[in-house]
Chain A
Amino acid sequence: MAMGRARKEFITSERERLLEEVPIVDEECNRDFIKAIIEMGGGDVQVCLQCGNCTGVCPVSLKTENKIRNIIKMCQMGLKEKVLSTPWVCATCHRCYEHCPAGMNPAELIVALRHIVVRELGPPPFVVSISNNVANLGQAVEISDEILNLRKKIGLNEKPFDERYRSKAIMDLKTIMKATGYDKLIGIDLGD
Chain B
Amino acid sequence: MNLQTGAKVGVFICKCGANINSVVDCENVKSYASQLPGVTLSICNDYLCSPDGLMQMREEIRKSNITSVVVAACTPRICEKIFRDNIEKAGLNRNMLHVANIREQCSWVHANEPFKATEKAKNLVKMGVSRAKTLVPAEGVDVELKQEVLVIGGGVAGVEAAYKLAELGFKVHLVEKKPMLGGNMATMFTCLLWCHEAPGKPQSLNFRFGTFPACDCSGCTIMPKLNDVITHPNINILLLSEVKEIIGHVGNFKVKVLKKPRFVDEKKCVGCGNCAVVCPVVKKNEYDYGLSERKAIFMPYQQAIPRKYVIDKEACLRLNGQECSACVEACEFEAPNFEDREQEINLEVGAIIVATGFEPYKPRIHGYLGYHEYDNVITIMELERMLDKAGPTGGIVIRPSDGKIPKKIAFIQCVGSRNRKINAGYCSKVCCMYTMKNAQAIKEVHPDTDITVYYIDIRAVGKGVEEFFHRTREDYGVEYTRGRPARIIEDKETKNLIVRAEETLLNKITERMYDLVVLSVSLVPSEGTQELASMLRLRTSPDGFIQEAHTRMKPVETSMEGIFVCGCAQGPKDVPESMAQARAAALEVAVLLSKKVAKAESLNAFIETDKCIGCGLCVDICPYGAPTPVLTESGVKMKITEALCKGCGTCVVSCPAKAIHARQFTDDQIFSEIKAALEAE
**Chain B interface residue number, banded:** 20 to 34
Complex CA gap A57/B368 in Å reads 11
Are B484 and A101 in contact, with the CB atoms below 8 A?
Answer: yes
Q: Which of B70-78, B114-122, B497-505 contacts A (4 or more CB under 8 A)?
A: B497-505
Residue B485 CB within 8 A of the other chain: yes
Contact partners of A143 in chain B: CB under 8 A: none
Residue B28 CB within 8 A of the other chain: no
CB interface residues, B 408-435, toward A, < 8 Å = 414, 418-421, 425
Q: Which of A33-41, A62-70, A85-93 contacts B (4 or more CB under 8 A)?
A: A62-70
A67-B507, A102-B425, A103-B425 in contact; A52/B483 too (CB < 8 A)?
A: yes
Q: Which of A62, A70, A101 contacts B419 (CB 8 A)?
A: A101
Are B456 and A99 in contact, with the CB atoms below 8 A?
Answer: no
Residue A133 CB within 8 A of the other chain: no
Contact partners of B419 in chain A: CB under 8 A: 101-102
Complex CA gap A99/B485 in Å reads 10
Are B368 and A50 in contact, with the CB atoms below 8 A?
Answer: no
Contact partners of B502 in chain A: CB under 8 A: 52-53, 55-56, 61, 67, 69
Residue B509 CB within 8 A of the other chain: yes
**Chain A interface residue number, banded:** 10 to 19
Complex CA gap A49/B413 in Å reads 14
Contact partners of A101 in chain B: CB under 8 A: 414, 418-421, 425, 484
Contact partners of B509 in chain A: CB under 8 A: 55-56, 61-62
Complex CA gap A57/B501 in Å reads 8
Residue A130 CB within 8 A of the other chain: no
Interface of B is mostly: loop
Are B420 and A51 in contact, with the CB atoms below 8 A?
Answer: no
Residue B486 CB within 8 A of the other chain: yes
Residue B482 CB within 8 A of the other chain: yes
Which of A51, A70, A100 gathers the greatest number of chain B CB atoms within 10 Å? A51
Residue B487 CB within 8 A of the other chain: yes
Contact partners of B484 in chain A: CB under 8 A: 51-53, 56, 101
CB interface residues, A 99-125, toward B, < 8 Å = 99-103
Are A49 and B485 in contact, with the CB atoms below 8 A?
Answer: no
Number of A-B contacts (CB under 8 A): 63
In the complex, the chain B residue whose C-beta lies closest to that of A70 is B507
Contact partners of A52 in chain B: CB under 8 A: 482-484, 486, 501-504
Report the minimum CB–CB distance from B161 to chain A (whole Å). Answer: 35
Report the minimum CB–CB distance from A67 to chain B (whole Å). Answer: 7
Contact partners of A53 in chain B: CB under 8 A: 483-486, 502
Complex CA gap A57/B488 in Å reads 11
A51-B483, A101-B419 in contact; A69/B504 too (CB < 8 A)?
A: yes
Contact with B along A126-148 (1 / 0, CB 8 A): 00000000000000000000000
Are B487 and A56 in contact, with the CB atoms below 8 A?
Answer: yes
In the complex, the chain A residue whose C-beta lies closest to that of B505 is A52
Contact partners of A62 in chain B: CB under 8 A: 509
In the complex, the chain A residue whose C-beta lies closest to that of B455 is A51
Report the minimum CB–CB distance from B364 to chain A (whole Å). Answer: 13
In the complex, the chain A residue whose C-beta lies closest to that of B415 is A101
Contact with A along B471-514 (1 / 0, CB 8 A): 00000000000111111000000000000111110010100000
Contact partners of B414 in chain A: CB under 8 A: 51, 101
Complex CA gap A102/B457 in Å reads 14
Complex CA gap A61/B419 in Å reads 23
Complex CA gap A50/B456 in Å reads 8
Which of B414, B483, B500 gathers the greatest number of chain A CB atoms within 10 Å? B483
Contact partners of A102 in chain B: CB under 8 A: 418-420, 425
Are B418 and A49 in contact, with the CB atoms below 8 A?
Answer: yes
Report the minimum CB–CB distance from A108 to chain B (whole Å). Answer: 16
Complex CA gap A55/B414 in Å reads 17
Complex CA gap A67/B457 in Å reads 20
Contact partners of B420 in chain A: CB under 8 A: 101-103
A49-B456, A67-B502 in contact; A56/B485 too (CB < 8 A)?
A: yes
Complex CA gap A99/B456 in Å reads 14
Are A51 and B425 in contact, with the CB atoms below 8 A?
Answer: no
Contact partners of A61 in chain B: CB under 8 A: 502, 509
Q: Which of B500, B501, B504 contacts A50 (CB 8 A)?
A: B504
Which of B419, B483, B487, B504 gathers the greatest number of chain A CB atoms within 10 Å? B504
Complex CA gap A34/B500 in Å reads 31
Are A103 and B483 in contact, with the CB atoms below 8 A?
Answer: no
Report the minimum CB–CB distance from A164 to chain B (whole Å). Answer: 47
In the complex, the chain A residue whose C-beta lies closest to that of B485 is A56
In the complex, the chain A residue whose C-beta lies closest to that of B457 is A49
Complex CA gap A69/B501 in Å reads 12
CB interface residues, B 428-484, toward A, < 8 Å = 456-457, 482-484
A69-B502, A69-B504, A101-B420 in contact; A51/B368 too (CB < 8 A)?
A: no
Q: Which of B421, B456, B487, B500 contacts A51 (CB 8 A)?
A: B456
In the complex, the chain B residue whose C-beta lies closest to that of A101 is B419
Contact with A along B122-165 (1 / 0, CB 8 A): 00000000000000000000000000000000000000000000
Report the minimum CB–CB distance from A19 to chain B (whole Å). Answer: 14
Report the minimum CB–CB distance from B11 to chain A (whole Å). Answer: 46
Contact partners of A57 in chain B: CB under 8 A: 486-487
In the complex, the chain A residue whose C-beta lies closest to that of B510 is A56
In the complex, the chain B residue whose C-beta lies closest to that of A53 is B484
Report the minimum CB–CB distance from A69 to chain B (whole Å). Answer: 6
In the complex, the chain B residue whose C-beta lies closest to that of A96 is B486
Report the minimum CB–CB distance from B470 to chain A (whole Å). Answer: 23
Are B482 and A56 in contact, with the CB atoms below 8 A?
Answer: no
Report the minimum CB–CB distance from B267 to chain A (whole Å). Answer: 51
Report the minimum CB–CB distance from B215 to chain A (whole Å). Answer: 29
Contact partners of B486 in chain A: CB under 8 A: 52-53, 55-57, 99
Complex CA gap A99/B502 in Å reads 13
For the complex of A and B, list the 7 residue pairs with the smallest distance between their C-beta atoms, beginning with the closest: A56-B486, A52-B502, A51-B484, A103-B420, A52-B483, A101-B419, A55-B502
11 A-B pairs, CB-CB below 8 angstroms?
A49-B456, A52-B501, A52-B503, A52-B504, A53-B502, A55-B502, A62-B509, A69-B504, A70-B507, A101-B418, A101-B421
**Interface contacts beyond A51-B504, A101-B414: sample of 14 additional A-B pairs, CB < 8 Å, sorted by A:** A49-B457, A51-B483, A51-B484, A52-B483, A52-B486, A52-B503, A53-B483, A55-B486, A56-B485, A57-B486, A69-B504, A70-B507, A101-B421, A102-B425
